[in-house]
Amino acid sequence: MDIKNYISSGVIEDYAMGILPREDASILECVMSNNAEVKQAVIEVQETFEKLATIQAIQPPEYLKEEIRRRIEFGNSESLPGKIIPLNTKREETKRSSNISGWMKAASVALLIGLGFLGYEVGSKSAELEKVAQKNTELSTKITDLENMNSLVMNSQRIELKGVEKHPNMIADVYWHTSKKVFLEIKNLPEAPPGKQYQLWAIVDGKPVDMGMYSAKADSTVQEMKSVNNAQAFAITLEKEGGNPTPTMEEMYVMGTT
């Protein structure tokens, strides 16, 4: 699965809003449980939506409910028990008009109070809103970058690098695009010790060619490496931080042919 393209497809936003179909939601939850990058993207989107909902929430004053109820009851005072006094049609219509007018006034007061309180809430939290907007911008930029990378990965040849004899069960994937761009995804390699770093190599005409260093501190698990033509194989070795001009064969972990 092309993780970057999957993240940028909009499926995470639909999931956070609760409008993603059940089948698609199940797939996303399965991917989340197996991919930390997707899980983090879901958490970030959910946090953003929660902050926006909190900022936009309106908490009316405590007295507002009682004020509305009192005005409504006042407007319907003819329903209260007491002596019944016959009224002519004209006076009855006048009274009903007055009652409706009183109810509309009460509703208008409630609306004005609510709008005034909303303005106060939004104004008092403008700083927090700006922070959320900034985070949204950063997230959008990150998703765009990931989308561009994912588009390349999806149209690439996948080459599985398997563990050598000294390091069985180790796995990494190389994605080799038709434009000769190369992407590396480390799936199961031990954390590089201090002062060490994994280096990717391409075997071209029987000779190793430096393809760059894998950064464990990068935001994405799939990282773009150097470009290469006519590679017959790829391999990963553990080298000193910053890399070596030639591979340390005793420290080779995985290898795969094209």
- The more confident residue out of 9 and 225 is 225
Q: pTM for the full model?
A: 0.47
The answer to whether residues 179 and 186 touch, using CB atoms and an 8 Å cutoff, is no
The answer to whether residues 196 and 172 touch, using CB atoms and an 8 Å cutoff, is no
What is the 3-state secondary structure of 177-195?
A: ECCCCEEEEEEECCCCCCC
pLDDT of residue 92: 47
pLDDT classification of 33: cutoffs 50, 70, 90: confident
Q: At what angle do helices 22-34 and 36-56 cross, to 10 degrees?
A: 120
pLDDT average, residue stretch 201-205? 95
Q: Is CATH 1.10.3470 the right assignment for the domain spanning 156-257?
A: no
List the structure tokens of 210.
């430096």
The answer to whether residues 182 and 224 touch, using CB atoms and an 8 Å cutoff, is yes
> Could you tell me the residue ranges of all domains in the chain?
1-154, 156-257
pLDDT of residue 96: 47
Which segment of 1-5, 155-159, 167-171, 247-251 scores lowest on mean pLDDT?
1-5
- Whole-number Å distance between alpha carbons of 100 and 20: 45
pLDDT of residue 23: 81
